[in-house]
């Protein structure tokens, strides 16, 4: 069971909405829509993806990382390091 | 004709790849894949979307904005302002 | 003369404010202030630096790039490419 | 004692370097340096600030959050929520 299982349906709904935004972008490009309108839609899709990632990360900290930390030891350190690396990738992407 | 018409096929290919990444994310969530692997995939999709946006923006500056600027006047100022606002939205998203 | 000469004083004021924010961060670290409060201050400094960069970029597009584009030729293309590269660095940083 | 006390000197060195970069920016603006060179320096300062923030955050997760989580209860949940909010601010700034 993953840390986000309780909110799986909510995550899937969110991702399907992002998928719809990307298909909307394809349609806009295909119909030669104005560049600026396409860029506005890209920003919206980026923000939606980020919101999904932040939600998932919070659940990961609250479950997977918290469990490992409660047990302590090398596994706890590894989980914190792994989460920190994922955060760094998000901040930089 | 939009400023990006010459590279329309390339843009569509890129966006379809992003769409595939989002569907990959849905599959990962559906199969309870590990949070960190999902976050890595989100960062990749975000970067791909950004690369598309930056490409589009460059073409917009090189065509739509350049044309307006060559004519000068209020339209030129408006185009520069509009592009700057889109850049700000990208930087902040 | 740079494209931003007219608003030079405003830019300097803004940068001195950021410098003050960074010195504030040094003080917070030195006094062992709470990590989360430090991170909040980092986000504020980042946003202030970004606002400065976006302002400068808009002036650059409105003056340096616009002038090159009005003359046309290879110099125009080079200026648009150079600005696009700077935008990409900002979006990714 | 804050979670980052062990690496306090390293953090202060890093922040002083950022402060130097900001003063470098003030000098560049004062001397009417070329916009694009200034923007490159802004990206460097932003990345340096981010690196500091990510380092601090990792220590915060490894110490403050880990301790609270090991004790469990409402305090643990509050610490995870607080860290997640700080991460969201960083990702969005």
Distant-in-sequence contacts of C9-16, Cβ < 8 A, 24+ apart: C11/C52, C11/C55, C11/C56, C11/D29, C12/D26, C12/D29, C12/D30, C14/C48, C14/C51, C14/C52, C14/C55, C15/C52, C15/D22, C15/D25, C15/D26, C15/D29, C16/D26
Chain A partners within 8 Å of B26 (Cβ): 12, 15-16, 19
More confident residue, C29 or A69: C29
- Chain D interface disruption, residue of C6, C22, C51, most D CBs within 10 A: C22
CA dist., res. D18 & res. C21, Å (int)? 11
- Ordered by where they begin, the domains of chain C are 8-92 (1.20.58.1000)
ipTM of the shown complex: 0.92
CA D62 to each of CA A69, B1, C88, D80: distance values in angstroms, whole numbers, following the listed order:
9, 54, 33, 12
CA dist., res. D58 & res. D7, Å (int)? 12
pLDDT tens-digit series, residues C11-69: 999 999 999 999 999 999 999 999 999 999 999 999 999 999 999 999 999 999 999 98
Rounded to two decimals, what is the model's pTM?
0.92
DSSP, collapsed to helix, strand or coil, labels residue D43 as helix
CA dist., res. D89 & res. A58, Å (int)? 13
Task: Say if residue C2's pLDDT is above 80.
Answer: no
**Least CA distance to D5: which residue of chain C?**
C32
**Least CA distance to A49: which residue of chain B?**
B42
* Predicted confidence band of residue C1 (pLDDT cuts 50, 70, 90): low
Give ∠ CA D59-A81-C33 in degrees, rounded to 5: 10
Smallest Cα distance from D24 to chain A, Å: 24
CA dist., res. A17 & res. A13, Å (int)? 6
């Amino acid at each position: 069971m993953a840390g986000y299982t309780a909110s799986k349906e909510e995550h899937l709904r969110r991702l399907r909405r992002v998928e719809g935004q990307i298909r909307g972008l394809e349609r806009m490009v295909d119909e030669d829509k104005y560049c600026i309108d396409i860029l506005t839609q890209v920003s919206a899709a980026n923000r939606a993806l980020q919101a999904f990632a932040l939600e998932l990360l919070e659940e990961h900290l609250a479950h997977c990382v918290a469990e490992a930390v409660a047990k302590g030891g090398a596994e706890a350190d590894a989980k914190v390091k792994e989460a920190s690396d994922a955060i760094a990738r998000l901040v930089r992407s």
